[in-house]
Structure 1
Amino acid sequence: MASPVYKLAQQLGELLQLHKLKLTTAESCTGGQLAQAITMIPGSSSWFERGFITYSNLSKQQMLGVHTDTLNNYGAVSEQTAREMAQGALTHSSADISIAVTGIAGPEGEGPDKPPGTVWFAWTCEGFGTLTHLQIFSGDRLFIRDQAVEYALQALIKFTNSNKPKPKLEIPV
């Protein structure tokens, strides 16, 4: 029996193929779990272009072009950083859509404003702008990461699910 994450990744792949779109991911707190879920699907190389695992701030800067000022002023777990990660992933790939995930899986947070489970998501598509969304998950480190991957897949499905040749931008899930 296929897991819910597998089914979501399969559904996402079908939508991306339908719309002839390619996806790229930029992950921090999920450490590549999103790309792993996507690449479990046979044939995903036809719609998944690449994944960036940018766990450190330096990797966010070098691989995605996240600005030092953004990291210094807002932190790695912020709307601004998620936005720059998504835009950088799109710029540094040949994909049509990107998603970025940056958050705090725990067990410790960064204070009352950023407790464990704080995860920022950003989606971007060429010519349609960038959307961001903050989600707060609960549980231990592994459960927070699993929830973030499942949420990302659900949001990408909603983001991509359109009869238009390009996805319509709506706040996901």
Structure 2
Amino acid sequence: MTDPLTGAVPARELVEALTRRGQTVATAESLTAGLLAATLAGVPGASDVLRGGLIVYATELKGALAGVDADVLNRDGPVAPTTAAQLADGARARCGADWGVGLTGVAGPDPQDGHGPGTVFLAVAGPDGTEVTALDLDGDRWEIRLGSVRSAVSSLLERLSR
């Protein structure tokens, strides 16, 4: 069954995979503003695997809540691979989860800090390290946010299958 929100890769599959492994996940979300955590929470059984999420829409909250280093924010900005990596690491550490997912980017319609709409950095932090993926998504704000969630679900599922 296809999840109406995440599309081809259902959040249900991710929750089931984490449950089988006895592992947990936490998120630190900027452009998605909690949409990933809400998507996972919509799956029955999510309470066994979803530790929590940090909504870090405002730049200063990326540091205050998720622990992104001020030097990284000043040097690289809020929309950067290094910021996404530290968001994922921060979510994992601060929520006591096995896995952390960080999402930061530009949903549009206007560019931000020299990045066009659809520029997204997705990081997945886990027991085997942190990996960052750059996404270039098309669509309006909602489509870019949904695409970010879809990509996050797919990326974590892929990491779990290794």
TM band (smaller chain) = over 0.9
Once the two structures are TM-superposed, the CA of residue 151 in structure 1 deviates from its matched residue by: 1.1
Is 2:5–2:146's contact at 8 Å kept on the other side of the alignment?
Answer: no
Q: Gapped runs of 5+ residues in structure 1? A: 162-167, 169-173
2:124 paired with 1:114: no
The whole-number CA distance in structure 1 between the counterparts of 2:116 and 2:93 is: 31
Change (3 A) 1:4 1:59: closer
TM-score, reference length from structure 2: 0.93
Mapped partners of 1:77, 1:120: distance in 2: 7
- 8 A Cα contact 2:81 2:134, kept in partner: yes
Structure 2, unmatched stretches of 5+, are: none
TM value normalised by structure 1: 0.87
* Corresponding residue for residue 70 of structure 2: 68
TM-superposed deviation, 1:4: 5.6
SS of residue in 1 equivalent to 2:10: helix
2:133 maps to which residue? 133
Amino acid at match of 2:143: F
Tell me the matched-pair count.
160
Greater Cα offset, 7-16 or 24-33? 7-16
- CA root-mean-square deviation: 1.5
CA drift at 1:67: 1.1
Could you tell me which amino acid in structure 1 is paired with residue 151 of structure 2? Y
Is residue 34 from structure 1 mapped to residue 42 from structure 2 by the alignment?
no
Q: In the TM superposition, what is the alpha-carbon distance from 1:110 to its structure 2 partner?
A: 2.9
Q: 2:155 matched to which residue of 1?
A: 155
Structure 1's consecutive aligned runs of 4 or more residues displaced over 4 angstroms after TM superposition are none
Alpha-carbon shift at residue 138 of structure 1 (Å) = 0.8
Correspondence 1:41-120 to 2 at 5 A: 41-110=43-112, 114-120=115-121
* 2: CA distance, partners of 1:155 / 1:116: 21
